Structure 1
């Protein structure tokens, strides 16, 4: 039987009572030629006259462009200072410190736990199965009356695989809290985004980013897609001008280059499959997890020693060998063709020198 979802029941009492800060630009909508409302410097700035004005606090132009690309209404979109801001707001909105808990499914993205610890929220960990899928029975057993959220990363970081869609839907149907699906790597995956299911599941929050496929990691722009009620909560809590004008300007320019990004995605997937094939052929490699991201998780001999060997040669990867269910593993980002050749040659050299 489907459990009822009630946003009001989930919200912390202080958030229900919260009167958000009302900025000058929040109180005005439309175009104007004389702006004397926000105590800005009317002479401009040393860099550009554009940056002497506060940015649009609701980022309407960026959201409207994302609507055209993603097919999600602008009113169902929140923009944050990286996905990390959206994650932190979720904790502050729905989890009473020292009282509530969330469920994490390791190995997974580390900021879910860091944000929980910052907000004094208990994490109940239900490890993925050996093939890196959800343990539905374990999750069901872990849920209690104080469980407010479940975080699922798909494609998962650091494993790279997509989580079974039917399993995620099972949780969405049966859990009466917030289900957060982090799709930072969805552009590289065959699996369809859960943004298409927002109308069906009112407890769904989908996180995406412009840091990966869009190549804008330096701008720190994260996206949350959710019901208008949940988006209203995000907007109630966020700082008034959380996305600066320079970021909005650059993002709008980048969002006009969908064709370029799609070509990068194709090339990255092609290089990923080449890299996987080459790694599998190395005798000391035990397993390469099938990936739908722009990285691969590789189980191999002497991972820590290999990591140090690579660092000495200026090649930086991620040592995941001490992460739950990732013993003996390194995570390699898919680079440019020449970078992939360099790391493959270095791996071969390490094992050759180790014999």
Structure 2
């Protein structure tokens, strides 16, 4: 059985759109795509008057090297969100198929499924935010075509052990595609599971340059998967997904200088994560700081709503995650620069002191 047997039959059979860039290359006079012959103001040699390559060869090569996969096992698009959407559209029939997720987790899995009118089966994380593999496997029905695993998980920061992922991939073979979202893996100091793709044809991995590589504004995400899956998704992807300035920014970020810069910032974030976790636990009103392997901390408060408003009043924006299951008392705080982190701590300390003064004054 091929992994493509899990995909929608009509997608496998469709005739994909053929763009001008795909039909011809190597020319010197471009009169085939109805583009402007003149570069725009401020182009600086980028060539933005021409359509970009659908899958830029230089970027594919750089990312394949970075992630340790073959070029044909990589699809690059507009952040991880685009890959998630493509997977749901390719594998889930509207009104019939479903995905499986483990809340609290990244919200775009469910959003993309609902847009496609696919079902969403939820298997909640354990009370300590760990994954229950047995519960996940027990919940898989014939309708489930995609199982999403986020590690480190957003918004809790917990890791899913490699052995759990292997167990899921093996158990789901021929039944569903296992999608492992590693958007935050660089912060975790653990190896990616992308080396398992050759062993499990139903395993796919999501990666992004938005987090550790400081390119959230460029929107460069990758899907690493079986070459047949990649080829299928390329058939339904928009013809020109990557703007030239974004490709240029990504190649610069992946250069030797760019990688050295990223490593320096990663070291700072890991050190600050440890420092902030200890400092937050010493504050009155903080109940718990969840263990995190990402670039954020999920923090439980006695009154998370009040803490959020006090931080906001001080000009410090954090993420209110109280709407997520089992996080009704929590805020998610991104690790910033040491100076920004200190501002956040100062704001929380000041709000606590102000509250104590009010109580003492009323007494």
Q: Quickly name the TM-score band, shorter chain normalised.
A: over 0.9
Q: Secondary structure at the match of 2:145?
A: strand
1:271 equivalent in alignment to 2:238: no
Query: Within 2, Cα distance between the matches of 1:70 and 1:104?
Result: 25
Alpha-carbon deviation of 1:253? Answer: 1.5
TM-score, normalised relative to structure 1:
0.95
Q: Residue 95 of structure 1: CA displacement? A: 0.2
Q: How many residues are paired up?
A: 350
Q: Which residue of 2 aligns with 1:309?
A: 310
Match of 1:46 in 2: 41
Unaligned runs of 5+ in 1: none
1:57 alignment partner, one of 40, 54, 61: 54
Q: 2:187 matched to which residue of 1?
A: 188
The structure 1 segments of at least 4 consecutive aligned residues displaced by more than 6 Å after TM superposition are none
Partner of residue 323, structure 1: 324
1:249, CA displacement in angstroms? 1.5
Contiguous gaps of at least 5 residues in structure 2: 357-363
Give 3-state SS (helix, strand or coil) of 1:108's partner. Answer: coil
The partner residue of 1:96 within 85, 93, 98 is: 93
Partners of 1:134 and 1:290 in 2: CA distance: 14
Structure 2: distance between partners of 1:145 and 1:321 = 33
Aligned equivalent of 2:67, options 67, 70, 76: 70
Which of 14, 28, 39 is matched with 2:10 structurally? 14
Aligned-residue offset at 1:165: 1.8
C-alpha contact (below 8 Å) 1:101/1:148 kept by paired residues: yes
Q: State the Cα distance separating 1:225 from its structure 2 match.
A: 0.5
Post-superposition CA distance 1:293-327 (Å, at most 9, x none): 00001112110011011112211101112310212
Task: Give the Cα separation in 2 of the matches to 1:172 and 1:192.
Answer: 17
Q: Separation in 2 of the partners of 1:270 and 1:39?
A: 52
Alpha-carbon distance between aligned partners in 1 of 2:248 and 2:164, rounded to the nearest angstrom? 39
Superposed CA RMSD? 1.3
User: Hey, what's the Cα distance between the residues in 1 that align with 2:305 and 2:333?
Assistant: 14
Deviations, residues 111-143 of structure 1 (Å, cap 9, x unaligned): 111111111011010001112121222212211
1:115 aligns with 2:112: yes
2: distance between equivalents of 1:60 and 1:242? 14
Moved more, 45-54 or 236-245: 45-54
Match of 1:344 in 2: 345
SS of the residue corresponding to residue 178 of structure 2 reads strand
**For each residue in 1:317-340, what CA deviation from the matched residue of structure 2 results, as whole angstroms up to 9, or x when unmatched?**
011123102121111000111111
**SS of equivalent residue, structure 2 residue 90:** helix
Contact 2:146 2:176 in 1 (8 A): yes
Distance in 1 between residues matched to 2:170 and 2:245, nearest whole Å: 40
Query: Matched residue of 2:23: which SS?
Result: coil
Instruction: State the Cα distance separating 1:263 from its structure 2 match.
Output: 0.8
Tell me the equivalent position of 1:201: 200
Displacement after TM superposition at 1:145 (Å):
1.1
Which residue is equivalent to 2:150?
153
Q: What's 2:361 paired with? A: none
1:168 is displaced (CA, Å) by: 1.5
Superposition deviation, residue 106 in structure 1: 0.5
Q: Deviations over 1:206-235 (max 9, x none)?
A: 001111011111111111110110100110
CA 1:8–1:226 in 2, change beyond 3 Å: closer, same or farther? closer
CA distance in 1, matches of 2:262, 2:66: 12
Q: Distance in 1 between matches of 2:251 and 2:11?
A: 32
Once residues 43 and 98 of structure 1 are traced to their aligned partners in structure 2, the CA distance between those partners, rounded to angstroms, is 47
Q: How many angstroms apart in 2 are the aligned matches of 1:149 and 1:310?
A: 38
Q: Distance in 1 between matches of 2:336 and 2:348?
A: 15
Alignment correspondent of 1:259: 260
Q: Secondary structure at the match of 1:251?
A: helix
Instruction: Give, in whole Å, the separation in 2 of the partners of 1:9 and 1:146.
Output: 13
Maintained 8 Å contact 1:133/1:164: no
Moved more, 167-176 or 40-49: 40-49
How far is the alpha carbon of 1:91 from its aligned partner? 0.7
| Contact 2:286/2:299 (<8 A) preserved | yes
Contact 1:155 1:162 (8 Å CA) reproduced: yes
CA distance in 1 between partners of 2:240 and 2:73 (Å)? 19
